[in-house]
Amino acid sequence: MTFSNSLSAAGRRAFLRRMSFGVTGAALGTLWAEDEKILRAGAGPHFPAKVKSVIFLFMCGGVSAMDTFDPKDNKWAGKMLDTINGNNGKPQLRPVLHNPRVFKPYGKSGTPVCEWFPHIGGVIDDIAMVRSMYCHDAGHFQACWEMSTGKRNRVFDHPALGAWTGYALGSANRNLPTFVNMGKPSSPAQLTGGYLGGQEGATPFEAGETPLANLKLPVGTTRAERDRQMETLARLNREFHEQHVFDAEVASRVRSYELAGTLQTAGPELVDFSKEPEHVREMYGVDEPETDEFGRQMLLARRLAERGVRFIQVCHGGAGGGNGKWDSHDDVADHAPLARQTDKPIAGLIRDLKQRGMLDSTMVVWATEFGRTPYSQNNLGRDHNPHGFTCWLAGGGVKGGIVHGATDEIGHKVAEKPQYVTDLQATVLHQMGLDYKRMSVIVNGRPFHLIEEGTGPIRAILG
Amino acid sequence: MKRIRTAPLALLLAALTMSGQQPPAKPPLWSLRPVVRPEVPANDANPIDALIARKHQQKGLRVAGRADKATLLRRLHLDLTGLPPTPAALDQFLNDSSPNAYAKVVDKLLADPQHGVRYARHWLDVLGYADVDEGMLAESGIYHWRDWVIKSLNRDLPYNQFVRAHIAGDLSPRADDFFATGFLTRAAHSPADGAEDIAFNAVEKVSTAFMAMSTGCAKCHDHMYDPILQRDYYAMKALFDPLLPEKKNLATADEILRHEEVLERWRAQQNVIQARMDVLTKPYEKQIFEERMTFLPKDVEAVFRKDPKLRTVAEQEIVTRYNTVVAPDARKFRDVMKPHETVLYEWTRKGQTELRRDAPTLPVFWTVRADASRAAQKNNIYLGGDRTKKGDEVQPGFPFAPKDLKFEGDRRQVFLNWLTAGDNPLFARVAVNRLWQWHFGEGIAGSPSDFGRTGQMPTNPELLDWLASEFVARGYSMKAMHRLIVTSEAYQRTGVVTKELQAANAAADANNRHLWKFPARRLEAEAIRDSVLAVSGKLDTAIGGMSFRGSDINERRVMSATRTGYYDTRDTRRGIYMGRGSDASMNMMPAFLTTFDAEDGHAPCARRERSITAPQVLYLLNGELTQVASRDLAERLFLEAGPGAAAKVDYGYKLVLGRAPSATERDAALSYLGKAEPAQLTGFAWMLLNLSEFVFLP
């Protein structure tokens, strides 16, 4: 079971509190129910939503744009570039790397994609590339804060985007959380409910046999024995529960037993892929050595979206601490195996959503904390580059087969239509029926706005 | 912590502000009006009950009767010490028919060192204690602050002195009060505190903890709802502007004398391992250098090939610039080495890292000191909270300050004299409201750190005022207030009521805000864990010392670099010692704590959330803690209870729930237990730990 990993805590707490809204809201009577209603009424939705679920793919470590989706010629190769502010504020002259990647145009749109991503190339006509993303911070964790919360650092404890959507829209499935995370993130920032409270943070799910913590019986306990114990436990609990029948907290606990039982059967069902047809499993690359893990996560993401989970974040290459696997300082060729792990599953997800008619109501976002520099760091590696990088979106009402914005001819800085990371967030919110300008909350007497920077939704990519 | 409870009002006000309208004229804030001690009957009755009874009369509420003795004992033990009563304590209380039996228990528990542990955890939530927090400077030794709080509560340090120590413990005549300033230094990230973290944080944390006023918004602009101006914020900040972190060496003379020797040994070890490293890497350096040269423009290569002694300054600059490209890195060495060498290389590197991590250090604690040159500087408003944009100069002061304050000596003293004065309407009110919340689950005012306009009004203002004035009259003794509260009838009422009583009171007070019955509630994370360990016989009640690491917290991260030695291995101590905090790159909160709503201390927590959730149930059903404890508890039942299954059932109930089982419970347990073989006994123990009753304060 992978839930003993260190990142489970934040999410677990999130899930419980999510559950407490879903399960005990009723039990606690009018107090909570009304609160919830008022809070949510104040937030959204503000207009009809196009998107029911968002699948947010977070490539941890910082993906190089010019080696993936933003080709540059080698005109500048070998020339020295002043890297002022490029390397965490330290000025330095560094040589621009020769880029050996081969790009070819795909689809009707002819959008070029690096040879590392042939499958994504195959669905390029569903994808809107944004090649003009930027952020401020060049450190991994700081940039993760920015990309996840839209704010720099943890000064005010801002929540992650997934938390906002759950907070504003509530749950569509009481038995499941609204904001789920799979895979290890780089930073707890990617899971945080911040000042909205832990209940809005991400719940960690796994595509293994135990999707949720403590769902499995302990080693040495049989199902039959546990059933017998549960039966006696219920008898022993009865008097206390009856005595406190008017106590909201005790009543909630009775319900939480029931939900625990439901989860113990619903959880395994959720991750039981045996009923998925072979051709679907194949699309995601399930059971192939390189793509199996991420493929299962993508398949589970689809299943969660089908069940109404609003925000499904999948972190790839996160180490649960450390810098993330896409952090190719030594050699950008290190991207290649990571591309192989993700290319087919991501394309499979988009195809599968499309064939099920879910792509219009499900938005897939491919993001990373920042890009990488055109110049060398160690030998063939690239440094962090917050000044210009690529993210892309598919489905959920975005135009397919288009490219928005551009970096300069070296691939260092945004040259056209700069989009701050919060613009990506505003776009997601907009398609979910939320106006970011109307999303503010007052914490301890201080108003907070989700987004205070940037230019709002990237309307040019919306259909 | 209910941080968003006030949102509806807030959103409304925000909407008004955005539309350009001014919020309606504000009535004076209740919490700033003087405390008025209400008249109470001059008889033996506890005035608390008289004041609550008035509300009951007004609202036509009927009260529940007294809880039974076993329930009362369990309530007192869990509330005052966070631990369940032992079977011996239960026998003693049940057999004591003297009229002051209850009072004797109260006195005993208030004198128990575990009382300080329990209430310290409450205070540390409010004060924002964390073992780790985004690279805080004071990490090493911060636990001394936690231990100081435990000790001070145990010796019943008067509340005004408790607060003084937190704000100016460095000036205190008491030798150990400087430990309380961990509250201030905890915010700093560097010895120079260039970001002024101490001062900024002090304003916000002092005002929420001891004044229940949120000043945070006044950092950037005047407060939208409360009478706090941006000028007030920076005036208050000026109280703390002179402060700098100050390292106190806690080592003994002997430790200091031996330290140089220890360091010398450590350096020698480093040299040995470096020599080993050189043997491995030297043969390849030339090869790698040559390879990297091919990567460089010719002119740069020429500079690199020049004798370093003959390079010009400009050339040396070029070398520096290109060196990141040229210098061999670990990956490169691994690539070029022979396989067996790669293994040795990795081992050596690991050894080097570990040795560096284990650099010997002397125990220190970071307190604060007022720096004369900083005190001489002018204090300014920062426009929009931006340190680079200085606004008007401000004089030291604080919100609600009287006119014509004279600041002589340390500025904090002037503030403290105002803050802790008996006639400050906020000081005692805020404190007694917190104590009340910890006994009854909710404060008289429901937003204990916000007595401002976005907070909640007290449900019984007379009671709050009486308690506040009594607190002052009793010299700010927290134990006296605890005694007063837990000996009230309100506290001793049963939480189990008839349908008739519930129905009769439902219209006027369904949520029991007026305490016509005792509010049973879920225990906090630490109390649950401590109870599990206590009844299974494994709890280590040792007081104080370094925190231990939750079993699910990544060891590599915690033990890296500077963290060595901050963690203790005694992990069956009470939950207050379970390390907690936050870090940008790594979760530092044990799953158990977060599952049961403990916060990470990054922001103060005024009131623990008491969520009741399925994952909590799953944690106790299937988690490691319960599995181990069930076996330990079963063993205890086997060894300590008499022969026969019935004796084990009775003893199990007594040990775990502090009462005898009912007839139906006994039957149900016996039918499961059969002959009470070890497997069944473990199953029974597991059930006891999973009973709802076990995780509730009854």
B582 contacts on A by Cβ (under 8 Å): 154, 188
- pLDDT at site A154: 67
Do residues A342 and A335 make contact, with C-beta atoms less than 8 angstroms apart?
A: no
In angstroms, the CA B421 to CA B433 distance is: 17
Residue of A nearest to B318 (CA): A93
- pLDDT at site A167: 81
Do residues B235 and B394 make contact, with C-beta atoms less than 8 angstroms apart?
A: yes
Closest CA to A316 of A58, A120, A139: A58
Residues in chain A: 463
Q: What is the mean pLDDT of residues A51-78?
A: 94
The verdict on A181 touching B (C-beta cutoff 8 Å) is no
> Distances from the Cα of A23 to the Cαs of A32, A174, A258, A306, B384, in angstroms?
11, 7, 10, 21, 42
pLDDT reading at B503 higher than 80: yes
A38 contacts on B by Cβ (under 8 Å): 7-8
Gap from B307 CA to chain A (nearest CA, Å): 22
Tens-digit pLDDT profile for residues A290-313 = 999 999 999 999 999 998 899 999
- pLDDT at site B597: 85
Task: Indicate the residue type of A404.
Answer: H
DSSP B144: H
Gap from A127 CA to chain B (nearest CA, Å): 31
| Spacing of C-alpha A213 from chain mean position | 20
Residue of A nearest to B624 (CA): A218
The verdict on B222 touching A (C-beta cutoff 8 Å) is no
Categorize the per-residue pLDDT at A198 as very low, low, confident or very high, splitting at 50, 70 and 90: low
Q: What is the mean pLDDT of residues B230-251?
A: 95
Tens-digit pLDDT profile for residues B335-378 = 889 989 999 999 999 888 888 877 888 889 999 999 999 999 99
pLDDT reading at A43 higher than 60: no
In angstroms, the CA B613 to CA B644 distance is: 36
Closest CA to B524 of B440, B579, B598: B598
Q: What angle do CA B432, B434, B436 make, to 5 degrees?
A: 70
- pLDDT at site A322: 63
For the ranges A247-261, B188-202, B354-368, the one whose mean pLDDT is highest? B188-202
Categorize the per-residue pLDDT at B564 as very low, low, confident or very high, splitting at 50, 70 and 90: very low
Closest CA to B202 of B254, B241, B164: B241
Do residues A17 and A362 make contact, with C-beta atoms less than 8 angstroms apart?
A: no
The verdict on A91 touching B (C-beta cutoff 8 Å) is no
Three-class DSSP category at B634: helix
Interface test with A, best of B319, B587, B627, B628 (most A CBs within 10 A): B587
Quote the tokens at residue A332. 């950008």
Cis ω for the linkage preceding A45 (within 30 of 0): yes
The verdict on B473 touching A (C-beta cutoff 8 Å) is no
Residue of B nearest to A318 (CA): B585
Pair type for strands B547-548 and B567-568: parallel
Contact B595 A197 (CB under 8 A): no
- pLDDT at site B217: 78
Tens-digit pLDDT profile for residues B1-35 = 333 333 333 333 333 333 334 445 567 899 999 99
Nearest to B692 among A214, A225, A241 (CB): A241
If phi > 0 it is left, if psi is from -120 to 50 it is alpha, else beta; for residue B27 that is beta
Burial class (CB in 10 A: 0-12, 13-18, 19+), A152: middle
Closest CA to B220 of B384, B380, B382, B379: B384
ipTM of predicted assembly, 2 dp: 0.85
Pair type for strands A111-114 and A127-134: unpaired
Categorize the per-residue pLDDT at A37 as very low, low, confident or very high, splitting at 50, 70 and 90: very low
Contact A94 B511 (CB under 8 A): no
Gap from B253 CA to chain A (nearest CA, Å): 39
Q: What is the mean pLDDT of residues A27-45?
A: 33
DSSP B598: -
DSSP B405: -
- pLDDT at site B382: 92
Gap from B598 CA to chain A (nearest CA, Å): 9
pLDDT reading at B659 higher than 90: yes
Burial state string for A315-351 with b = 16 or more CB within 10 A and e = fewer than 16:
bbbbbbbbbbbbbbbbbbebbbebbbbbbbbbbbbbb
> Distances from the Cα of B619 to the Cαs of A252, A428, B107, B591, B615, in angstroms?
16, 34, 35, 9, 6
Q: Which residues pair with A240 in a beta bridge?
A: none
In angstroms, the CA A302 to CA A180 distance is: 12
Quote the tokens at residue A33. 């129910």
B332 contacts on A by Cβ (under 8 Å): 330, 379
Tens-digit pLDDT profile for residues B119-147 = 999 999 999 999 988 788 998 899 999 99
If phi > 0 it is left, if psi is from -120 to 50 it is alpha, else beta; for residue A41 that is alpha
Gap from A309 CA to chain B (nearest CA, Å): 18
DSSP per-residue letters across B327-362: S--HHHHHHHS-HHHHHHHHHHHHHHHHHHHT----
The verdict on A320 touching B (C-beta cutoff 8 Å) is yes
Contact B672 A232 (CB under 8 A): yes
A212 contacts on B by Cβ (under 8 Å): 615, 618
- pLDDT at site A232: 95
- pLDDT at site A90: 54
Q: What is the mean pLDDT of residues B183-192?
A: 96
The verdict on A263 touching B (C-beta cutoff 8 Å) is yes
The verdict on B693 touching A (C-beta cutoff 8 Å) is yes
- pLDDT at site A442: 66
In angstroms, the CA A371 to CA A391 distance is: 9
Residues 6+ apart with CB under 8 A from B293: B301, B304, B305, B326
pLDDT reading at B605 higher than 80: yes
Categorize the per-residue pLDDT at B215 as very low, low, confident or very high, splitting at 50, 70 and 90: confident
> Distances from the Cα of A158 to the Cαs of A13, A196, B26, B143, B182, in angstroms?
17, 8, 30, 28, 25
- pLDDT at site B17: 36
Residues 6+ apart with CB under 8 A from B632: B536, B537, B538
In angstroms, the CA A272 to CA B423 distance is: 66
Residues 6+ apart with CB under 8 A from A171: A18, A21, A22, A177, A178, A308, A310
Nearest to A186 among B521, B585, B614 (CB): B585
Residues 6+ apart with CB under 8 A from A424: A130, A133, A365, A367, A391, A393, A458
The verdict on B382 touching A (C-beta cutoff 8 Å) is no
- pLDDT at site A44: 58
pLDDT reading at A40 higher than 60: no
How many CB atoms within 10 Å of residue B280? 17
In angstroms, the CA B121 to CA A263 distance is: 33
Quote the tokens at residue B336. 């070029």
pLDDT reading at B561 higher than 70: no
pLDDT reading at A8 higher than 50: no
Residues 6+ apart with CB under 8 A from B569: B548
Size of interface A-B (CB pairs under 8 A): 287
Gap from A47 CA to chain B (nearest CA, Å): 18
Work out the mean pLDDT of chain A and round it to a whole number. Answer: 83
In angstroms, the CA B525 to CA B503 distance is: 33
How many CB atoms within 10 Å of residue B191? 12
Tens-digit pLDDT profile for residues A206-241 = 888 778 888 888 888 898 999 999 999 999 999 999
pLDDT reading at A444 higher than 80: no
Three-class DSSP category at A392: strand
| Spacing of C-alpha A462 from chain mean position | 20
Do residues A111 and A338 make contact, with C-beta atoms less than 8 angstroms apart?
A: no
In angstroms, the CA A289 to CA A154 distance is: 38
Tens-digit pLDDT profile for residues A394-418 = 999 999 999 999 999 999 999 999 9
Contact A9 B583 (CB under 8 A): no
Gap from B264 CA to chain A (nearest CA, Å): 32
The verdict on B454 touching A (C-beta cutoff 8 Å) is yes
- pLDDT at site B273: 94
Contact B618 A260 (CB under 8 A): yes
In angstroms, the CA B278 to CA B285 distance is: 10
Q: Which of A4-13, A435-444, B230-239, B478-487 has the lowest mean pLDDT?
A: A4-13
Percent of chain B at pLDDT exceeding 70: 94
pLDDT reading at B183 higher than 60: yes
- pLDDT at site A321: 58
Categorize the per-residue pLDDT at B622 as very low, low, confident or very high, splitting at 50, 70 and 90: very high
Nearest to B325 among A196, A376, A447 (CB): A376
Gap from B475 CA to chain A (nearest CA, Å): 31
- pLDDT at site A443: 64
pTM above 0.80, yes or no: yes
Residues 6+ apart with CB under 8 A from A147: A58, A135, A367, A368, A369, A370, A421
pLDDT reading at B89 higher than 70: yes
- pLDDT at site A302: 97
Do residues B679 and B685 make contact, with C-beta atoms less than 8 angstroms apart?
A: no
Q: Rounded to 5 degrees, what are φ and ψ at B696?
A: -115, 145
- pLDDT at site A280: 96
- pLDDT at site B124: 98
Categorize the per-residue pLDDT at A324 as very low, low, confident or very high, splitting at 50, 70 and 90: confident
Q: Which residue has the tokens 């509330």?
A: B79
Which residues of chain B from 593 to 632 reach within 8 Å of chain A, CB to CB?
A: 593-595, 597, 602-603, 609-619, 621-624, 627
pLDDT reading at A34 higher than 50: no
In angstroms, the CA B196 to CA B209 distance is: 20
The verdict on B677 touching A (C-beta cutoff 8 Å) is no
Tell me which H or E stretch contains A368. strand A362-368
Which residues of chain B from 514 to 543 reach within 8 Å of chain A, CB to CB?
A: 519-522
Say which CATH architecture domain A8-211+276-461 belongs to. 3-Layer(aba) Sandwich (3.40)
- pLDDT at site B20: 39
Q: What angle do CA A52, A54, A60 make, to 5 degrees?
A: 175
Tens-digit pLDDT profile for residues B443-470 = 999 999 999 987 889 999 999 999 999 9
Gap from A345 CA to chain B (nearest CA, Å): 27
Categorize the per-residue pLDDT at B55 as very low, low, confident or very high, splitting at 50, 70 and 90: very high
In angstroms, the CA A434 to CA A453 distance is: 17
- pLDDT at site A355: 96
| Spacing of C-alpha B240 from chain mean position | 23
Gap from B409 CA to chain A (nearest CA, Å): 32
Domain boundaries, chain A: 8-211+276-461, 224-270
DSSP B181: G
**Helices and strands of chain A, counted as H and E runs:** 11, 19
E strands, A183-336, are: 203-205, 311-316
Q: What is the mean pLDDT of residues A271-283?
A: 93
